[in-house]
Amino acid sequence: MLRLGLKMTKRLVIMVTVGLLLFLLGCPAAPGTPDLIAENNTFNEDSLRVRSGEEVTMVFENRDNTTHNFALYRDRDATEVIFRGEALPGPGTITYTFTAPELPAYYYFQCDFHPEVMNGFLTVGGTSS
């Protein structure tokens, strides 16, 4: 009897975990623009969330007196570019527009001028329709 209980518990844990993962990947992004600010050689956010395949409009503000940008890559290796925003000498503001990847996953972003300290992950989930 105890053995049956353990099997059921394991199955329940697996089902809940899989369900939670599917829920998180399928949740629509929060409405609004994912604004990003560069200040003191850091981003104000190290994680952003968008819907799969949606057109993303990002208002990027550089509050520093040095050049920054926002660049999106397939992964932390930063070898496969998905989007590379124009360099913005600071201070100033620019609007970037790009299409989010179709595949729900975590993607890596960074400032190409300061990648060691200015980076994070973009979560792509759900669909835009």
**CATH number of 9's domain:** 2.60.40.420
* Strand partners of residue 95: 59
Q: How many CB atoms lie within 10 A of CB 118?
A: 20
Cα(51)–Cα(56) distance, integer angstroms: 9
Alpha helices in the chain (DSSP H): 2-26
Q: Tell me, what's the pLDDT at 9?
A: 56
Cα(53)–Cα(85) distance, integer angstroms: 18
Per-residue pLDDT of the chain (129 residues; tens, 9 = 90+): 445 566 655 665 555 444 444 444 444 444 445 589 999 999 999 999 999 999 999 999 999 999 999 999 999 999 999 999 999 998 999 999 999 999 999 999 999 999 999 999 999 998 654
Structural domain boundaries, residue 6: 2-127
Cα(54)–Cα(56) distance, integer angstroms: 6
Length of the chain: 129
Backbone angles phi, psi at 42, to 5 degrees: -140, 155
Domain total for the chain? 1
Q: Is the pTM of this model over 0.85?
A: no
